[in-house]
Chains A and B, each alone.
Chain A
């Protein structure tokens, strides 16, 4: 019967010691081998997951800092240039008589700047059809606009009221076509930046590596506990080293990603939020300036422009600089404790409104020449005009407001740059550190068990 008892038959009759059918798990070295493979796979998977998380966050942060925000600023500047050109053109007509060379130069340079920014942006619009449409509208209608302004100028130089008609027409093209298209581009870029912020702070890219790290650490600790029970050795040095490596990756990547998220949030909350709000405020301030000029040159039939002025001013700063966008900017400034700039901004706005009210009073009284004078030329009293109640012309007050807004935009931009650079720096080293540590942990998982397996030979 011994002949019948072949080794395979004997083994077949014996029940599997662990109750599983996998042959590798039937012996202690086999089980060690399996555990070792699990640890290696876990360590490498964890490394890959946290590396991918760190990589995607770094890519999104870099895109926000080096691309989207810059493009957004370009789109905003395009918008500002157009609004500035329009306000400047309208104001040129208020002065009457000889056209001030500086104002004409400013109009031309703003229009040129707008065209240049349009060129930059049109190369970057990507596959957004609405952005493409906006670029086309801008490219087509900027020449139409400047043609209308030139017609306005030619008629005005001859003293014909038709000049004002062309100016109104130009302004309508600006507001209904050009500014609307610029707003569309701005929207596309704002959405792009928002997307970068979202993927740069995507919670999954924090939670998945942390969960994977905790699981991997648990597996390493479990492996040691198993070895302890089987071999009665308290420490398996390679596995201890592996556990420490896993722990390092876990803590490092969680801390780095947490820091990056906090810095990127700072970049948005104290930086680009302020840039967006103040740029919008600047555009509205320019629109107000255009409204006032158009009202003045309309010689009494400009009440629509004055109404628009009030609507726009309310959105810009509320009644006296505590509401509207300036109010929103105060909330943003409080996040970085930089409220001082907002105070001077609110003061400049209130002063601007005061000069505007004085000019409107003169218009209501029919004193248009005085209104023109106090609005754009000088507040020095002219014969036949009541003395001006303000220390500066409305145009000077508008320029001061514009300068405050520009300062605020620059400061916000600087905060954005600093915070986004910190966010990128927080992830420095992870791209190399994570793979090295993960491989080290995997090698430890291999060596730690290999020694025990070798003892069975």
Chain B
């Protein structure tokens, strides 16, 4: 019997070898782990809350005594812009009433857009094709106009930038073109008459914005978002009780939802934020000094011609009530 037994040993061995070889290779889960690990991509995360206190520095350079004729810019940055043929402007394209791009027509609209068009018209004599809007991200905003040593991607930023001293140390500002006041947006039937009524309630604001600084001192809960419009979504979904921001921004939100209203902050004097003047941001270097003075001259002309009030009434008056052009302070840039 040992004869036949011996002859099948190789067959069994073969079977065992096959099984062993494949057995080692079958360790399952390799692909599953690769696949699952790849799907772990975490998306944009809610931003951290980091408000910062600020002081205002709203002094700007004196305007040019008279505006040069369009198409005849004297020199420096102004002449470069004229030679290039278009003005590069950093904006936010999601703020209805201030600056907004209609997704269908692609046209740009708002108080700030009209202001930019006045500046472009003063440089070139016409507007069509003379402006290139660059929507800025929060990260790009701080260096968009360039630093003392490095040129920027745009000639100016018109993006509801509050003229804080910290910003003014690194960039030049025009005279203020609007003075914002921080307010609250609440449901139209809300009894809230100030931030004092929101103790323990949830208030939405953009992460890292100056407006968010008041929320916690007022005893309310801060709900940070990435972009302003997200606050209105949260308010409509009743996931926050109020939104706080500058009145010009809130006006843009209120215009999209007639069931909301804007109420003043009415905060205790100790935490009431100062009015926030908006200035046109320009690079702070000798070649751009004339551009700052040029923009200030355009603003002065808008005052005397009544253009500012016309634009304000067109865009912001319906939500914010009557307003007037802010008084400039001229001097050196500190």
Binding site for B on A (CB under 8 A): 93, 96-97, 151, 155-156, 159-162, 164-166, 168-169, 172, 175-176, 183, 186-187, 190-191, 193-194, 197-198, 201, 203, 206, 210, 217, 220-221, 224, 240, 243-244, 247, 250-251, 254-255, 257-259, 261-262, 264-266, 268-269, 272-274, 276-277, 279-281, 283-284, 287, 297-305, 307-308, 311-312, 315-316, 324-325, 328, 332, 363-369, 372, 384
Instruction: Provide the B43-83 mask, 1 if CB < 8 A to any CB of A, else 0.
Output: 11000000000000000000000000000000000000000
Chain B residues within 8 Å of A172, by CB? 43
B5 touches A247 (CB 8 A): yes
Known: A206-B19, A280-B39. A261 touches B26 (CB 8 A): yes
Known: A96-B104, A164-B94, A268-B28. A183 touches B19 (CB 8 A): no
Measured CA separation A104–B26 after assembly (Å)? 44
A365 touches B134 (CB 8 A): yes
B28 touches A308 (CB 8 A): no
Q: What's the nearest-Cβ distance from chain A to residue B2, in Å?
A: 7
B94 touches A187 (CB 8 A): no
Residue of B nearest to A201 (CB): B26
Measured CA separation A126–B18 after assembly (Å)? 35
User: CB within 8 A of A312: which of B41, B135, B230, B237?
Assistant: B41
B1 touches A162 (CB 8 A): no
Known: A162-B256, A297-B103, A308-B44. A366 touches B133 (CB 8 A): yes
Known: A176-B43, A194-B29, A301-B94. A168 touches B230 (CB 8 A): yes
Known: A243-B1, A301-B92, A301-B135. A325 touches B35 (CB 8 A): yes
- A-B contacts, 11 of them at CB < 8 A, read A161-B229, A172-B43, A190-B32, A201-B22, A258-B19, A261-B26, A269-B26, A272-B31, A280-B35, A325-B38, A366-B88
Known: A258-B19, A262-B18, A301-B227. A96 touches B103 (CB 8 A): yes
User: CB within 8 A of A365: which of B21, B132, B236?
Assistant: B132
B262 within 8 A of A: no
Instruction: Provide the B1-39 mask, 1 if CB < 8 A to any CB of A, else 0.
Output: 110110010011011101101110110111110111011
Residue of B nearest to A252 (CB): B15
Residue of B nearest to A299 (CB): B93
**Residue count of chain B within 8 Å CB distance of chain A:** 64
Chain B residues within 8 Å of A186, by CB? 36, 39
Chain A residues within 8 Å of B139, by CB? 303
A273 touches B22 (CB 8 A): no
Chain A residues within 8 Å of B25, by CB? 265, 269
Residues 243-290 (chain B) with a chain A CB within 8 angstroms: 252-253, 256-257
Known: A197-B28, A240-B1, A243-B1. A254 touches B15 (CB 8 A): yes
B106 touches A368 (CB 8 A): yes
B101 within 8 A of A: yes
User: CB within 8 A of A287: which of B21, B41, B233?
Assistant: B41
B94 touches A273 (CB 8 A): no
Binding site for A on B (CB under 8 A): 1-2, 4-5, 8, 11-12, 14-16, 18-19, 21-23, 25-26, 28-32, 34-36, 38-39, 41, 43-44, 88, 92-96, 100-104, 106, 129, 132-140, 226-227, 229-230, 232-233, 236-237, 252-253, 256-257
Known: A155-B256, A284-B39, A301-B92. A255 touches B103 (CB 8 A): no
Chain B residues within 8 Å of A97, by CB? 103-104
B31 touches A308 (CB 8 A): no
Residue of A nearest to B153 (CB): A364
Measured CA separation A396–B253 after assembly (Å)? 35
Chain B residues within 8 Å of A300, by CB? 92-93, 134-137
Measured CA separation A367–B2 after assembly (Å)? 87
Measured CA separation A201–B132 after assembly (Å)? 65
B31 touches A162 (CB 8 A): no
A254 touches B256 (CB 8 A): no
A166 touches B233 (CB 8 A): yes
Residue of A nearest to B24 (CB): A265
A366 touches B134 (CB 8 A): yes
Chain B residues within 8 Å of A272, by CB? 31
B230 touches A165 (CB 8 A): yes
Chain A residues within 8 Å of B135, by CB? 299-301, 363, 366, 368
